[in-house]
Amino acid sequence: MERSRPLLSLSELSWIDVAAHLARDSRLIIPVGAIEQHGPHLPLASNVLIARRLATDLSEEFGVLRAPTFHYGVTRDGDHAFAGTASLSRKTLHRCMNELLSDWERQGVTEFVIITAQSYEPHLESLATLVTRRARVRVVEAWDVDISDLLDAQSGPLHAGEAETSVMLYLYPELVRMDRLRASSARGQGGDRRPASRDEAELGAADLAAAATAEKGRRIYQRILDAIRRAVFLAPADQESDTL
């Protein structure tokens, strides 16, 4: 069956196809995630899945090659007690990404767009300090977008909370277990932003995740996607920045 749109996944193309594409458009999108607990209701790879979906949508919209998702990043020390969480050190992530970028730069990539949905500062620092010979490196942190007006119970995107859970409900509803949340429905209505209980905190869930909905997730995701479009792909060259 003939494809309705061009194949842009680097891992599914031959080296000849990659070389031909880079001769026309020398950009490469790289989604970078992290495997860490997201409470009892979200999958460990929530950061991976969100970054990958953003990379896929932008790759297809703008005809830019995308690299395979780099699944592992730097996670919070306190999360290591939760089964399945796996972290690289800041130096290891930095070295791994530097080596990958070095190979791709030698093959003709002149601009890297790194998309991550992991807002942990050491993780972002590892990516923001990557070194190339000449290629431009642009790091996009998905949650670095003002979505406060789209939230009911939080002022911003807290880990595994209302915003992140909403986006997962929109993108991957089959992976979300809202029945496991312990927050009472009353907590989703107002201003109490403290964790619901010690038990909830020990399960790894941020407060107020029970206020999440798929419709909020749709609006949040579209806000993030549009911000990246404008800042990275549509802005005039003299107005572009290396971060979102």
Give me the residue spans of the domains in the chain: 11-238
**How distant is the alpha carbon of residue 19 from its chain centre?**
27
- Does domain 11-238 correspond to CATH entry 3.40.50.10310? yes
Count of CB atoms situated within 10 Å of the CB of 57: 14
Looking at residue 206, its pLDDT comes to 59
Looking at residue 1, its pLDDT comes to 41
0.75 cut: is pTM over it? yes
Overall average pLDDT of the 81-96 stretch: 95
| Maximum separation of any 2 CA atoms in the chain, in Å | 58
Percent of the chain with pLDDT over 70: 84
CA atoms within 13 A of residue 56's CA, in its CB half-sphere? 11
Could you report the per-residue pLDDT of 195-224, keeping only the tens digit for each?
Answer: 444 444 545 555 689 899 999 999 999 999
